Amino acid sequence: MGVIHVREPGLFTTVQDLGREGFGPMGVSPSGAADAASLRMGNHLVGNAEGEAGLEMTLLGGTFVFPDSTIIALAGSDFGATLDEKPVELWRRYEAGAGQVLRVGPTRSGARCYLCVLGGIEGELFLGSASTHVLSGLGGHEGRALRKGDVLTIRRTNPQKRTGQNACSTKGIPKRALEILEPRKLLRVTDGPQSN
């Protein structure tokens, strides 16, 4: 079990998984990743189950230190990340060596970027999910966005799970899959009652 030291938290970085569906009638928001497809693919890259918790960064990423070696991947929008000042591509897995520093900058292409680590981020479970819901202070890391100086725990990995990795984990996401996720430049509009 390793840890991640938060040197800089970024603008709004939270622990998110796929959320807690089905509790709306009780007034509980599902929370979860805003871009669930990116979180799923990032988890796939590092060899996790698709619903493991990762870090969701909004508009401006943070700076993170890995005291122990771990496997990482960035998914979602391009935030111009570097690992010890060497560029880190989206949709690829990397080994962050002991003591290495990941810096995730401001967005270049969208709103959210996901940091996934082998094993997933340990988060406070609420109704079966580690997703942070800031308004109610539930889930995630103390129910809030990350702060400078936070220490996040990486969940233990199951060696049997790791043996099932496929070529996508080592070579990145297939180009065709990424093309499907590219932003569309067509805005569809449905006429409403005031359109005349």
**What's the pLDDT tens digit per position in 86-118?**
999 999 999 999 999 999 999 998 999 999 999
Which residue do the tokens 């292409």 mark? 109
For the chain, the helix, strand and coil percentages under 3-state DSSP, each to the nearest 5: 15, 30, 55
| Confidence label for 166 from pLDDT (cuts 50, 70 and 90) | very low
Total length of the chain: 196
Distance CA 171, CA 91 (A): 9
DSSP type of residue 135: T
**What's the pLDDT tens digit per position in 123-163?**
989 999 999 999 989 999 999 999 999 999 999 875 444 44
Is the pLDDT at 83 greater than 50, yes or no? yes
Predicted pLDDT at 164:
43
Predicted pLDDT at 113:
98
Question: pTM here?
Answer: 0.86
Contact present, 158 and 120 (Cβ < 8 Å): no
Across the chain, mean pLDDT equals: 89
Distance of CA 21 to the CA centre of its chain: 18
